[in-house]
Amino acid sequence: MSIAPAPLASELSVWLEANAGSLDADAALAAEVLPRLGAGGALGAGIATELGGSRGDVTDGVEVIAAVSARSLAAGFVLWGHRSYIEYLLQSPNAALREKLLPDLLAGRVAGATGLSNAMKFLSGIEELQVSARVGPNSLILDGKLPWVTNLRPQGFHAAAAVARENGRGAFIASLAHDDPGLTRSADLDLIALRATNTAAVAISSVRIDTGRIIHPDANTWLSVIRPAFLGLQCGMSIGLARRALKEARGSLGAGRHALSESVASLAAALAEHEHNLREGLRSGIFQSKPDALFKIRIALADIVAEAVRLELQGAGGRAYLTVPGAGFARRWREAAFIPVVTPSVIQLKTALAALRSSAA
């Protein structure tokens, strides 16, 4: 059984539908995305009411990301980055940091950015950490870079980063802020799509933080704990985009295109099965001990997205190649091209799966 599609606040839904093309093609509305998501109640899904959320668990976060992504993957991408950072605070032992930052994050007044793409690749043995720390007087001094981070709102952001301790003494997870002296945000990356996502690089030069900014003192242990939520929430983008492409494909099944109906139904059933497995795995906690099961779901969803937009194209025919009637399809085609490369990419996950199989053997 699939996760029931989440209703979005009507004003948010209408705004996303009306502006999806702009959010993909340019950054004119980038400053509006997060406040709109906040006003529409999308930021508190799966968060306890006593913390300012709207109840539920992480699967409710997955579903709201899917609902937003069905209308605009750019907005879904922003929501994933923001909601992932919030999840880090929820699963942090640093209650003081959580209490300090959470109200503004849930209201959309300040952005949260995951910043842990490098860390997840580090966890899978793919690359080394790119931020390091040395001990200074009453502080930790950080240097390094985060080459690709989303939701770095110029109006204000917090970003998580995995930091290697000096002399190879492990690593920790820190929270950095837009106004930290020594932290520099680049201009937006020149993306071919998803341009209103405030995606940029961060340079870190002698940034000083105290222990109150540490999300978790042991990165190796904690990354394994947080990875299911990080990847599970990310899967919401694929689910939403696949749902929308399949909906569009179904709408084109008349006028001699009935031959596609079996393929559409079969792909929809496969999507529903992976949604169910994702939800059950997140709720049971099995993905912590069996990350390969989650990797396989993420890979399968990327394949489903690619096939869904292909079916949408076949259903629309030449109409999809015309500028005005094909605008939504053209955007979804570009959006679908992002799904396999968002970190951890499909090839990185396949590499990690191969390593796990080799280790087991």
Q: Name the residue among 48, 21, 20 with its Cα closest to residue 36.
A: 20
Residue 2 pLDDT > 60, yes or no? Answer: no
Burial 56-95 (b: 16+ CB within 10 A, else e): bebbbbbbbbbbbbbbbbbbbbbbbbbbbbbbbbbebebe
- With beta carbons less than 8 A apart as the criterion, state whether 116 and 230 touch: yes
The mean pLDDT of 1-29, rounded to a whole number, is 84
Among the residue ranges 5-9, 185-189, 231-235, 319-323, the one predicted with the least confidence is 5-9
Specify whether the backbone of 182 is left (phi greater than 0), alpha (psi in -120 to 50) or beta.
left
220-360 belongs to which CATH class?
Answer: mainly alpha
φ/ψ (deg, to 5) at 205: -130, 105
Torsion angle defined by CA atoms of residues 42, 81, 172 and 187, in that order, rounded to the nearest 10 degrees: -140
pLDDT in tens, 261-294: 999 999 999 999 999 999 999 999 999 999 999 9
The mean pLDDT of 283-306, rounded to a whole number, is 97
Mean of all residue pLDDT scores within the chain: 93
Please report which confidence band the pLDDT of residue 231 belongs to, taking 50, 70 and 90 as the band edges: very high
pLDDT at residue 247, as a whole number: 96
pLDDT at residue 3, as a whole number: 42
Residue 254 pLDDT > 80, yes or no? Answer: no
Residue 321 pLDDT > 60, yes or no? Answer: yes
Neighbours of 5 (CB within 10 A): 13
pLDDT in tens, 139-182: 999 999 999 999 999 999 999 999 999 887 889 999 999 999 99
Alpha carbon distance 64, 70 (integer Å): 10
Which residues of the chain form CATH 1.10.540.10? 10-111
pLDDT in tens, 54-84: 889 999 999 999 999 999 999 999 999 999 9
Residue 4 pLDDT > 60, yes or no? Answer: no
Alpha carbon distance 63, 61 (integer Å): 5
Q: Count CA within 13 A, CB hemisphere, residue 246.
A: 23
Give just the sign of the alpha carbon dihedral 339, 344, 346, 349. Answer: negative
Alpha carbon distance 247, 215 (integer Å): 41
Residue 37 pLDDT > 60, yes or no? Answer: yes
Alpha carbon distance 126, 280 (integer Å): 28
pLDDT at residue 151, as a whole number: 98
- With beta carbons less than 8 A apart as the criterion, state whether 201 and 189 touch: yes
CATH H superfamily, domain 10-111: Acyl-CoA dehydrogenase/oxidase, N-terminal domain (1.10.540.10)
User: What's 44's DSSP letter?
Assistant: T
Which residues of the chain form CATH 1.20.140.10? 220-360
Residue 6 pLDDT > 60, yes or no? Answer: no
The mean pLDDT of 191-197, rounded to a whole number, is 97
The mean pLDDT of 35-46, rounded to a whole number, is 95
pLDDT at residue 168, as a whole number: 78
Alpha carbon distance 174, 358 (integer Å): 32
Q: Which CATH number is 117-219's, of 1.10.10.10, 3.20.20.10, 2.40.110.10, 3.40.50.620? A: 2.40.110.10
Amino acid identity, position 350:
K
Please report which confidence band the pLDDT of residue 317 belongs to, taking 50, 70 and 90 as the band edges: confident
- With beta carbons less than 8 A apart as the criterion, state whether 243 and 98 touch: no
pLDDT at residue 61, as a whole number: 96
Which residues of the chain form CATH 2.40.110.10? 117-219
**Residue appearing with tokens 């906690």:** 285
Choice between 201 and 126, residue whose per-residue pLDDT is larger: 201
Alpha carbon distance 315, 92 (integer Å): 47
